[in-house]
Amino acid sequence: MTDNNFSNSFSLTDEIADIVRERILKGEYKIGEKIKENQIAAELRVSRTPIREAFKQLENEGLIDYIPNRGCFAKGFTRQDIEDLYAVRKALEVLAVEWAVSRITPEQIQQLQEQIDLMEFYTTKQDGKKVLEINSDFHSVIYNAAGSRFMAQVLRSYKEYIEQTRKALGCDQTSLKEILSEHRTILDTIRARDVEAAKTAMSNHLDGSKRRAEFIYNVK
């Protein structure tokens, strides 16, 4: 199971929710398995109150089911969940890059180049965690370059869930060069102000992301 070192940067409820969320997304709690309050309380040496609050948070995220008089049960991720998640992601991010191509500033293009340079450095170091962090920053620049407050609001809420999932699933080290190449292509098409090529590059990248998520998680 996950090592538990509570930090000062999150509330106890958030810490517990992070631990249980990671276990669900990694499949340590199987779909339909009961998640027992008393077991977690004993393991983490906490009272049941923050555990119940964490369960409510995870229920709102759609990761657990609460059944009155029976308890909480893991919902986990199915292949359909992955399909739905990436369908939404693809629709939003292809639109974001379409808008960004015509609106992006030279400074933002330079920011994207800096992210690519960092991604290349950490790819050579085989540091998947850092590559995923930089990947998030790269896409954030594109979100900002899209120049839409409404789009930014939608993407912020969506991005939080993507990041939670990505953090739990981790990264297959053998895919790092592929991820770097996909981001280089996106930057090249944005720099060329080629809308259709940028949309295709983003679409291909997200198809690759979905395939890698399915491989890592081995969903059914």
Would you say 31 and 78 are in contact if contact means Cβ atoms under 8 Å apart?
yes
Q: Which pLDDT belongs to residue 122?
A: 95
Give the residues of the chain that fall short of pLDDT 50: 1-3, 6-9, 219-220
Edge-to-edge strands, sheet with 34-35: 34-35, 71-74, 64-67
Domain ranges of the chain: 12-74, 79-217
Share of the chain above pLDDT 90, in %: 57
Q: Which pLDDT belongs to residue 152?
A: 77
Q: Please, what CATH class does the domain formed by 79-217 belong to?
A: mainly alpha
- How do residues 143-194 score in pLDDT, each as one tens digit? 999 999 888 778 776 666 666 666 555 566 778 999 999 999 999 999 999 9
Q: Please, what CATH class does the domain formed by 12-74 belong to?
A: mainly alpha
Q: Which pLDDT belongs to residue 4?
A: 53
Distance CA 7, CA 19 (A): 12
Distance CA 95, CA 143 (A): 10
